[in-house]
Amino acid sequence: MSLQGKVALVTGSAQGIGKSIARALSEDGADCIISDVNLELAEKAAEEIRTFGRKAIALKANVADSDEVSAMIQTGIAELGKIDILVNNAGITRDGLLMRMKDEDWDQVLSINLKGAFLCCRAVARPMMKQRSGRIINIASIVGAMGNVGQANYVASKAGLIGLTKTVARELASRGVTCNAVAPGFIDTAMTRSLPEDVKEDLSARIPMGKLGTPEDVAGAVRFLASDAAAYVTGQVIHVNGGMYM
């Protein structure tokens, strides 16, 4: 699944799952644009990728801001020549029960998780259509398919992202651009490691494979969708959840 000669933009990739995705794509040969609101961490992530012999630049961008997204895409193309792969990974949570959820918590999550992906898809659509090739991969979530207590805003954003994926796939398919989603289940990250042990044990018990996934598990699905091996795959959702949702 060589990505030699390709350029990948991964949003929210200064750390966590996004960083693992950027690293995996670079290991397959892609040059990378590390986009994040934390420029210092993004620079460190880009430096790690450069040690693999790949080109990498770090850009600060709030994906919920149309002007910043446009500037990010323009700068990325100016510095690396093109964008072949877009991974919409940037996202936040602001959890709370429906009856207590504040307007600003709903608005902020939908703005970054869903509007941000829309803005990035729109910004890369024209250059990808012009080059008649491209891969757009949206990082959704298991809860976007099955729901989750206390996450009305996050679930709505991820369910919306799945719908956006299917529409973008239909609109861009004739120009050689695919759009798919990867929906992770519960993944072993800094956030899940901070959960109480009894909560983690309960989560593992609900997963047929009996364990949490890793960021590398998610990155593996992205690697496939970004490659020529997935040239005839579009509009699909790949669930990476150990069997928790089937």
Hey, which residues are catalytic here? 154
For residues 81 and 14, give the distance between their C-alpha atoms in angstroms, rounded to a whole number: 22
CA 181/CA 208 separation, integer angstroms: 22
Angle between helices 39-50 and 16-27 (to 10 degrees): 20
- How would you classify the pairing of strands 85-88 and 7-11? parallel
Residues 6+ apart with CB under 8 A from 75: 59
For 12-22, b/e burial (b = at least 16 CB within 10 A) is: bbbbbbbbbbb
Contact 11, 87 (CB under 8 A): yes
For 28, the 3-state DSSP assignment is: coil
Return the beta strands (E) in the chain as ranges. 7-11, 31-36, 56-60, 85-88, 134-139, 177-184, 237-240
CB 105 within 8 A of CB 164: no
Task: List C-alpha distances in Å: 103 to 84, 91, 107, 189.
Answer: 37, 18, 6, 28
